[in-house]
Amino acid sequence: MDATIRIKLSVMMFLQFFIKGAWFVTVGTFLIKNLQATGTQVGLTFMAQSIGAILPPFLIGLLADRYVAAQRLLCVLHIIGGILLWCAGSTVVFGNFYVLILFYMMAYMPTMALINTIAFRQMSNPDKEFPPIRVFGTAGWVVAGLIIGYTAWEQHGQLPYTFKMAAIASFILAFLALFLPATPPLKKDSSVSLGETLGLDALRLLKDRSYLVFFLASVALCIPLAFYYSFTNPFFNEIGIRSAAGIQALGQVSELLFMLLMPLFFIRLGVKYMLGMGMLAWVVRYALFRFGYLDGSEWPLVVGILLHGICFDFFFVTGQIYTNNKAGDRFKNAAQGLITLATYGVGMMMGSVLAGFVVDANATQDGFHQWESIWIVPSLIAGMVLVVFMFLFKSRKKT
């Protein structure tokens, strides 16, 4: 790959994930402190991501496949997103904020597929060329968290600045998109069926019992995942952890490390036990959060954050690889779209609603929460999913 193109794609990845990391991690704290939102309202806000992950990516993907160049769509969506983020950081009413974020997620979530389309179309060997570029996305998320931790916006009540920072980065990425490699629509074979166009043919994977077990486990595991995304930052700030967003950025550092180690674990463990370890890590993470809260110690909380590499890579990344192998060449894109819809769409939606309800049910009269009761819920859910999965899932030893 040409060095100039490699640099452009790396910067694209950095900004794409910097934008989300700049506001998404701390939005729960922003809502509770600045807008006096309830736990249910925080859950609804995170559910906006699920809504944005269902229909808009399909519609934008259809446009990119047939009518409009991907880099142009990326430019337009990030201009819209930047405007919405800037307005969201300026509002003081939850209803207005929710509408803005809902429309923002409808604009942002399709860009996740667009950046991959732009990158893959420039590669002759994606297996080797994509990871060194994608890693800049993780770096962008980490840098955003470190900036928030360094500026102490959480402690000083200045979290509206996170939306302004994300909006500026969105405008910069929109400008960069004008100079990204041309990624025009691919000509579609007229013989392609409607089912293939809609990605419905990927549903045939569910006829395989083991894949069905994995599919349902993925949806169920996104329920405890929603607890982490929605309420870890408010939890840390409520109990007085300094630079909470900076500490949470360690999770992405862990994610990067375990991503590099995954090939070694694959050789020794195989798919079933990789997925099982990912589920077990979620159980342990929430148990550590609960222990740290009851004991008044910070180290269990940090260890819980550092488990993110196992929690995310061993289950979700392994699941993407497993899906890719099961689908074969013809249904790879449709199958990945199906599992994304099931997890970030359906699973995260259910988890966001449940997390908001559980947090509100454990609120105290003085404005604090009984976190020891809150964290036991996702830990138990992850534990039950683990037991059922390990009992029902069958896989070949060699993958």
The CATH number assigned to the domain holding 287 equals 1.20.1250.20
Question: Phi first, then psi: what are they for 367, rounded to 5°?
Answer: 90, 0
- Check pLDDT > 60 for residue 192: no
213 plus 338 within the same structural domain: yes
- pLDDT band at residue 399 using 50, 70 and 90 as cut-offs: very low
Average pLDDT over residues 331-350: 76
Residue at 189 is within a domain: no
Give percent above pLDDT 90 in the chain. 46
Average pLDDT over residues 12-35: 93
- pLDDT band at residue 143 using 50, 70 and 90 as cut-offs: very high
- pLDDT band at residue 354 using 50, 70 and 90 as cut-offs: very high
Residue 47 and residue 317: Cα distance in Å, rounded?
22
304 Cβ contact partners less than 8 Å away, ≥ 6 residues apart: 284, 285, 286, 288, 289, 292
How many structural domains compose the chain? 2
Neighbours of 213 (CB within 10 A): 18
Give percent above pLDDT 70 in the chain. 90
- Check pLDDT > 60 for residue 58: yes
Domain range enclosing 65: 1-181
The lowest-confidence range among 83-97, 173-187, 327-341 is 327-341
> Which of 182-191, 238-247, 335-344 has the highest mean predicted lDDT (pLDDT)?
238-247
69 three-state secondary structure: coil
Average pLDDT over residues 382-386: 95
- pLDDT band at residue 66 using 50, 70 and 90 as cut-offs: confident
Query: How do residues 271-302 score in pLDDT, each as one tens digit?
Result: 888 899 999 999 999 999 999 999 988 999 99
Residue 62 and residue 113: Cα distance in Å, rounded?
11
What pLDDT shows up at residue 289?
95
Residue at 331 is within a domain: yes
Could you tell me if residue 297 is left (phi over 0), alpha (psi between -120 and 50 degrees) or otherwise beta? beta
Mean pLDDT, the chain, rounded, equals 86
What is the DSSP code string of 190-257?
Answer: TT--HHHHHTGGGGGGGGSHHHHHHHHHHHHHHHHHHHHHHHHHHHHHHTT-TTHHHHHTHHHHHHHH
Contact criterion met (CB below 8 Å) for 345 and 218: no
Q: Which of 126, 154, 181 is the last residue of a domain?
A: 181
206 plus 177 within the same structural domain: no
Which sign does the torsion angle of CA 335, 17, 138, 154 carry? Answer: negative
86 plus 235 within the same structural domain: no
- Check pLDDT > 70 for residue 334: no
120 plus 203 within the same structural domain: no
Could you tell me if residue 144 is left (phi over 0), alpha (psi between -120 and 50 degrees) or otherwise beta? alpha
- Check pLDDT > 70 for residue 30: yes
The first and second tokens of residue 262, run together, are 């995954």
> 298 vs 141, 210, 233, 244, CA distance in Å?
23, 39, 14, 11
User: Which pTM value belongs to this model?
Assistant: 0.81
CA angle 36, 37, 40 (to 5 degrees): 160
306 plus 219 within the same structural domain: yes
Residue 211 and residue 362: Cα distance in Å, rounded?
36
297 plus 364 within the same structural domain: yes
Which of 20, 380, 36, 387 is closest to 229 using CA atoms?
A: 20
